[in-house]
Amino acid sequence: LIATGGTLVAAAQLVRRMGAQIHEAAAIIDLPELGGSRKLQDMGIPTFTLTAFELNER
């Protein structure tokens, strides 16, 4: 699940700090309104998800 992206961004930074390259990120669900997948793409990490859910306010 990609929500705000905080966990994946932190993991990507740690992996890069160790000298590894990240080719892409993948998740089952994206919540695009929270901006997590955009943060990863802004870091130059192609991001793939199986589905995306829009949040509905009630």
All structural domains of the chain with their residue ranges: 6-52
pLDDT on residue 57: 67
pLDDT on residue 51: 97
pLDDT on residue 34: 96
Using a 10 angstrom Cβ sphere, with 0-12 exposed, 13-18 middle and 19 or more buried, the burial of residue 25 is buried
Task: List, run by run, the mean pLDDT of 10-residue segments along the chain (58 residues).
Answer: 97 98 97 96 97 83
